[in-house]
Amino acid sequence: MPKDILELVRDFNYLVKDAISGPNCIDPKVCHGDCCFIHIDIPRILAQHYIEKGWASKEDFKRGSTFSFEINVDLDILKCVFFSKEVNGCSLHITGMKPPQCWVYPTGLDPDKVNTSCKKAGGWFINDSVSVRNAKNILSDYVSMCQAEAIEENSPDKINRRLQALSTEKFDTLTPSSIAGIEDDWDRFKILIGEGYNLGVRSFCSKIDCGIEYFECPVVCEPLKKKLLKFLSEKLSHFIQQNGFKSQYTFMELKGQN
């Protein structure tokens, strides 16, 4: 029976943890967490596992463009949300469920090289090349399964389901010129507010004879809301199938004007 994603993550962590040795990354004199500043791709099932274990919240993830999600970076410290100041390292390390990329990124994890340079500190050594080779095979399966999950997450059916939640958004608290597009969240789409004035929905407003100049309009009216929701239901899924998925979509690009 094929293994699921969580089993692959467990197996990968188990194989790698004793198969390599290198710098003491939790020593602040050696490492400053320089590898922990990137958004790591992560499948929904692993993110959900972290949430269920109490290690994370939905806000710690955003929609990705490779896997279903990415792990957020704490903008106050410019490090991954799982970086622990107390540990001076990854809080997931001891769980045995650390994302495989977090092992690969600093080490290279190449069994054909005895010594792979760390990004910032000293060299990493492979003590068990057999385990590392097996881990790399697991990694390949993991990536394939995560990509398949992401495609399913962005299937027309699931996209339309997440779009339905937009109908409950409080459009009447927004001005048309404040709207830039939509943002794909954990289980729904939300309105994306842009900086300054935005022209994304101006063409929709021009078809509504209300007599109010676009930039002076104080609120999104019901006719505009209906036009936007209709446009998204007809356009978004096709756009994603043609251009790929990500966390944010502007009305300009959805209309082909970007």
pLDDT classification of 111: cutoffs 50, 70, 90? low
Same domain, 134 and 168: no
Residues 59 and 120 in one domain: yes
- Is the domain of 12 the same as that of 54? yes
Q: Residue 152 — very low, low, confident or very high, per pLDDT cuts 50/70/90?
A: very high
Higher pLDDT, 15 or 108: 15
**Same domain, residue pair 188 and 79:** no
Q: HEC states along the chain?
A: CCCCHHHHHHHHHHHHHCCEECCCCCCCCCCCCHHHHCCCEECHHHHHHHHHCCCCCHHHEEECCCCCEEECEECCCCEECCEECCCCEECCHHHCCCCHHHHHHHHCCCCCCCEEECCCCCEEEECCHHHHHHHHHHHHHHHHHHHHHHHHHCCHHHHHHHHHHHHHCCHHHCCHHHEEEEEECCCCEEEEECCCCCCCCHHHHCCCCCCCCHHHCCCCCHHHHHHHHHHHHHHHHHHHHHHCCCCEEEHHHHCCCC
Taking the model in full, what pTM does it have?
0.88
Does 79 share its domain with 196? Answer: no
136 and 175: one domain?
no
Which pLDDT belongs to residue 250? 97
Indicate whether 117 pLDDT > 60: no
Same domain, 148 and 181: no
The last residue of a domain, from among 153, 173, 207: 153
What is the arithmetic mean of pLDDT over 197-208?
Answer: 93
Statement to judge: residues 142 and 57 lie in one domain = yes
Same domain, 128 and 166: no
- Claim to verify: residue 54 and residue 34 sit in the same structural domain: yes
Percent of the chain beyond pLDDT 90?
67
User: Which of 153, 184, 208 lies at the terminal end of a domain, its last residue?
Assistant: 153
Predicted local distance difference test score (pLDDT) of residue 242: 95
What pLDDT score does 108 carry?
A: 63
| Residue in this structure with the two tokens 């095979």, named with its chain if needed | 137
Domain range spanning residue 218? 156-254
Are 125 and 20 contacting, i.e. CB atoms less than 8 angstroms apart?
A: yes
The predicted-structure confidence for 67-97, as pLDDT tens digits, reads as follows 999 999 999 989 999 999 888 888 998 899 9
Q: What's the structural domain count of the chain?
A: 2
Last residue of a domain, one of 153, 170, 190: 153
CB atoms within 10 A of CB 230: 11
If asked whether residues 149 and 220 sit together in one domain, one would say no
pLDDT for the residue 6 = 98
- List, in sequence order, every residue forming a beta bridge with 74; answer none if it has no partner: 79
Give yes or no: residues 74 and 168 share one domain. Answer: no
